Structures are given as C-alpha cells and as structure tokens.
Amino acid sequence: MELTKSELLNDLAEQIIETEGLNLGGAKIEYLFASPNITKKIGGKTIKTNKELNYYSDADFIIEISQDVFNVISKEDKYNLLFNQLLKVGWSTNENNTETKYYIAKPDIVTFNAINKKNNGHDWFYRIRECNSSLYDLNPKEADLFSV
C-alpha cells in the first residue's frame, strides 16, 4: 500500500465541513489516498495521531481513503464516504476552554442514518460496499466484512 497526500480529498473535506456546518474543534487533519487500497475490506478510516506520528506531522487526525474504491463510486458516495470519516473526529475542552483533547468519536447510528435521509433514503454504504465487492471479486461473506 502506498499513501499519498490528496488535495482532492482536502478540497472535498472543506466543502463538506462548510456545507454540513461541522465543528471539528480546530483539528488539523491530513487526507491520504491509500493505493490501491487500505485493505480489500476497508473503504476509509480515521486515525487519531499519536506521539510517533506527530514526529512526522502536526496533524491531529489522518483520514485514509482507498483510492481504488474512490475512483469507481459516484460523486454523491464520495461525499458521503468522506463525510462519514469526518464525523469520527471527536473533541472536547476542559472547563476553562484552554485545552482541547481529540479522540475518535464512537459510531453514531443516528448520524449515519441522517446521511441516508439527507440523500433521500439512498443507502450510500451498501452502494460503496457493492462497488468494492465487484472491484475485488469478493464473495458475499467477504463483502459483509466491508467497513468505512
């Protein structure tokens, strides 16, 4: 797997943040394409950086997207895939609002379903999963293990 910074993902993320009114607590996020993929069963993932990663970058989070999957899904599904990753950026401040702590937000089924509702009930996750399954010729059992 090869990782490369992506201005395309960065620009799309800026659009999503503005359109959806996301407050990410000032988090610095690096957007990377994993080529050809993260794994055959992962379309995207969000990583909270640690001390070792901070040696190489001042980012608080890294969002990786499997490039092969991204290349074959619709514009709408690209938006939803990255939107879903951005929703994993969690943050809180201390009582005095002087220190921000970042964390990976737990999956939120309400928010996940809100993305579907916003898209007129279209189930973006299953469309992406099916594209991924076709791309890598996965059997149904393997396809069921797909995650974003």
Per-position pLDDT tens, the chain of length 148: 899 999 999 999 999 999 989 999 999 999 999 999 898 999 999 999 988 887 888 899 999 999 999 999 999 899 989 998 999 999 998 888 788 999 999 766 666 676 767 765 567 788 888 888 998 898 888 888 888 8
Map 47-115 to HEC letters. Answer: EECCHHHHHHCCCCEEEEEEHHHHHHCCHHHHHHHHHHHHCCEEEEECCCCCCEEEEECCCCHHHHHHH
pTM tops 0.75, yes or no: yes
**CB half-sphere exposure, 64, CA atoms < 13 A:** 18
